[in-house]
Amino acid sequence: MRFLSLYRHARPEGVPPSEREMAEMGRLIDEMTRAGVLLATEGCMPSAQGARVRLAQGTFAVTAGPFAEAGEAIGGFALIQARSREEAIEWSKRFLKVIGDGECEIRQLHDAPDCMG
């Protein structure tokens, strides 16, 4: 099964990670790739470059970034193939341990089910 892990950071945006953090993150990504778990991952540019698009009762509302509220801005995502939700949780913990305070929202994705034929 596959999971989307959506990361929201607690620290203010725009603080670049230290070299050490970068190296640790590189190692974790390498480990997850070599374990066959990580299908894709990207980090987001600061939310100032982003926007929110809403449709309410037929009317669009577009809000340009930044989204200042702590824990609101999405920092990145990982697409994970795991055998259980718990395994996805464990990998997300390892990710957070490297990147620091923040939150990962883990969502299972629709997959082709084992099907009768």
Partner 1 sequence: MTATDTHRAIDAVWRIEAPRLIAGLTRMVHDVGLAEELAQDALVAALERWPESGVPDNPGAWLMATAKHRAIDLLRRDKLLDRKHEELARELADAQDERMAQSDAHLDDPVGDDLLRLVFIACHPVLSLEARVALTLRLLGGLTTDEIARAFLVPEPTVAQRIVRAKRTLAEAQVPFEVPRGAALVERLAGVLGVIYLIFNEGYTATAGEDWMRPSLCEDALRLGRVLAGLMPKEPEVHGLVALMEIQASRLPARAGPNGEPVLLLEQDRARWDRVLIGRGLAALERAEKLGGVRGPYALQAAIAACHARAPDAAATDWARIAALYAALAEVAPSPVVELNRAVAVGMAEGPRAALALVDALVEAGSLRDYHLLPSVRGDLLRKLGRLDEARMELERAASLARNARERALLLARAAACAAAPPTERTDRPSRSTR
Residue 21: strand pairing partners = none
Spatial distance between the Cα atoms of 52 and 100, rounded to a whole number of angstroms: 26
**Using rule CB under 8 A, residue 27 touches partner 1:** yes
Note whether 90 binds partner 1 by CB under 8 A: yes
Task: Name the minimum Å distance from CB 76 to partner 1.
Answer: 16
Burial-class residue 106 by CB neighbours within 10 Å (0-12, 13-18, 19+): middle
Query: Which member of 21, 30, 101, 105 binds partner 1 (CB under 8 A)?
Result: 30
Q: Which of residues 92-111 bind partner 1 (CB under 8 A)?
A: 111
Question: How many angstroms separate the Cα of 20 from the Cα of each of 34, 40, 54?
Answer: 21, 22, 38
In the complex with partner 1, the residue whose CB is nearer, 35 or 68, is: 35
Question: Applying CB under 8 A, which residues contact partner 1?
Answer: 1, 27, 30, 33-37, 39-40, 79, 81, 83-84, 86-87, 89-91, 111-117
